[in-house]
Amino acid sequence: MNLARYFLDHNLERRADKVALRYTPTPEGSLGHPEQSWTFRDMYAWSNRAGNHLRALGLREEDRVLFALSDCPAFAAHWFGALRVGGVVAMMNPGVTAEDWSYYLAYTRAAVLVTERCFADERAEQIAFALHRGQLRGVIVVDAPLDIAAQSTLGSECTTTDSSPDDPSVWLFSSGSTGKPKACMHVNSDFVFNTENYAKKVLGIREEDVTLSVPKLFFGYATGTNLMFPWAVGATTCLYAERATPETMLTHIARYHPTILTNVPTMIHRMLEHPLCSTTDLSSLRMVLSAGEALPAELYRRWVERTGVEILDGIGSAELFHIYLSNRPGDVKLGTLGTPVPGYTLKLVDSAGVEVPRGEIGTLLVGTDDPSAGASNAFGYHRDRAKSRDTFRGAWTATGDQLRIDEDGHYVYCGRGDDLLKIGGVYVSPTEVENCLLTHPLVREAAIVGVEREGLVTSVACVVVTDAREGLDVELQEHVKTRLAPHKYPRFVRFYEVLPRNDRGKVARSELKRALAGTL
């Protein structure tokens, strides 16, 4: 079960000359650069050359290959090239700080780094130190715009390693909401399992689809939806070099005419607010995917009113590779995460590990009662045995997410375990209060956090509004009081221009808590 064979090579049988990848190497500040494209035959040959290059640098089976690349064709070619020769892929956001570059290089102990000239120059000191230590044995530097003739002297045929389903293949990093990001170690079968069950059975992804993504490929959410899933069925993926903004996303939708858009709630909101949204043709879209943070019901309504296109909200994690709980095309229940993806079993348990009754909030466990049935659970965190034992419990993974099951059997997200607030002895779901605030016409973003005050935890609403008029804080408190149980209203309201976010686009609640500590 070599993933290069499963995702890429099978396309040579009957669609070798179909366009596999479209790419716009947009210079900074310009949206007029011509598009480039590659067929499956092209990408197969390029991935073989990349595999040969890695072997020439001394890469051995199960050695780590660290990717620090923007979204470009070389990412896909080297990603499958590394897997082809039995390497283990790890991916980082190339735009992080010098300190974080040092962390990823040391933590992964990567034998080879694949990066771009701009990042290699900017982080030359950190790379040189890793080379000096001797763990990093080689660096592959690619330049953009990229020429498929690169590495042409290395040969377009490469012996593919006969990997097994249980061989390690990809490390996916947790978001690092507590401490540094941790690598979730996955084997080949994890990616095949989710592709067969989520991509094919839930999304119904097909050969004629064209995919585009807001999140970048270093994020497992996008690696799945905008590289693995489309190529598993011979669909076309679209990449762009620049940072995702509302303008660039709407421009690329007009350029590529995607049928599936991978998105996140924050960008959905920003796209709706952008002037281009009212004039851009969005008719090519047949579905929009949302994950990474809770999708507010009000935001869903606004999007469908504008576009007529469903948003399939779901939840996944690096620990399980991808989405395991999702709404279905034609069957979206507003305000819920839908039902389990085929092949996954879900449990909601209390602090003692006992399943809670329907309707009550519990911690989500994902896995199966039958270990032989397979799933996509990672087998541990790299260099963190204690945390691995706590999270990966045999065939089950403890997600830390708090959910409840409604009367129709749909799952409702209530927040992370450490985000739930206990106000007056009763638990309050931040997500519920945030969704309520977003129904106010002036509120554009909202995050509820718990801050200690006089020895007790109190709730603070951190909001972005269109008009911070006098008395709006009290108005927002009353807005919640009249729509939810009175004890759930935020005791304090603070206004922000923007909410801080991590490199996965999630609200950095810990940063908000630190900034608010001692100010109430």
pLDDT tens digits, residue range 283-319?
Answer: 999 999 999 888 888 899 999 999 999 999 999 999 9
SS3 for 79-138 is HHHHHHCCCEEEECCCCCCHHHHHHHHHHHCCCEEEEEHHHHHHCHHHHHHHHHHCCCCE
The predicted-structure confidence for 191-225, as pLDDT tens digits, reads as follows 999 999 999 999 999 999 999 999 999 999 999 99
Question: Residue 415's Cα: distance from chain center in Å?
Answer: 17
pLDDT at residue 432 in the model: 85
Structure tokens, 32: 């007029």
Q: Count other C-beta atoms under 10 Å from residue 343's C-beta.
A: 17
**276-298: buried (b, 16+ CB within 10 Å) or exposed (e) per residue?**
ebeebebebbebbbbbbbbbbbb
SS3 for 402-424 is EEEECCCCCEEEEEECCCCEEEC
pLDDT at residue 424 in the model: 59
* CATH homologous superfamily for the domain 3-404: ANL, N-terminal domain (3.40.50.12780)
Q: Is 356 exposed, middle or buried (0-12, 13-18, 19+ CB in 10 A)?
A: middle
How distant, in Å, are the alpha carbons of 241, 414, 500 from that of 432? 36, 7, 20
- Work out the widest C-alpha separation in the chain, in whole angstroms: 71
Looking at residue 354, the DSSP 8-state letter turns out to be P
CA quadruple 298, 510, 411, 350: dihedral positive or negative? negative
**Residue for token pair 């999140």:** 215
Chunk the chain into consecutive blocks of 10 residues (it has 520) and report each block's average pLDDT, rounded to whole numbers.
Answer: 97 98 71 78 95 94 97 96 98 93 97 94 96 93 53 78 97 76 96 97 98 96 98 97 93 96 92 94 97 87 94 96 97 95 95 94 88 84 95 93 95 82 73 90 93 83 94 96 87 95 82 91
pLDDT at residue 33 in the model: 58
The predicted-structure confidence for 143-198, as pLDDT tens digits, reads as follows 743 334 445 567 778 999 999 999 999 999 986 545 688 999 999 999 999 999 99
Identify whether the C-beta of residue 507 lies closer than 8 Å to the C-beta of residue 500. yes
Question: Residue 308's Cα: distance from chain center in Å?
Answer: 24
pLDDT at residue 30 in the model: 40
Domain boundaries, the chain: 3-404, 419-516
**Residue for token pair 């040189």:** 128
Query: What global pTM score does this model have?
Result: 0.86
pLDDT at residue 28 in the model: 46
Residues 132, 153: Cα–Cα separation, whole Å: 28
In 318-477, where do the E strands start and end? 323-326, 339-340, 345-349, 362-367, 392-393, 396-405, 411-416, 421-423, 426-428, 443-453, 456-465
Q: Is 56 exposed, middle or buried (0-12, 13-18, 19+ CB in 10 A)?
A: exposed
pLDDT at residue 122 in the model: 95
Rounded-to-10 torsion of CA 331, 336, 341, 347: -140
Residues comprising the chain, all counted: 520
Q: Is 287 helix (H, G, I), strand (E, B) or coil?
A: strand
State which CATH number among 3.30.300.30, 3.40.50.12500, 3.30.420.40, 3.40.50.280 fits the domain covering 419-516: 3.30.300.30
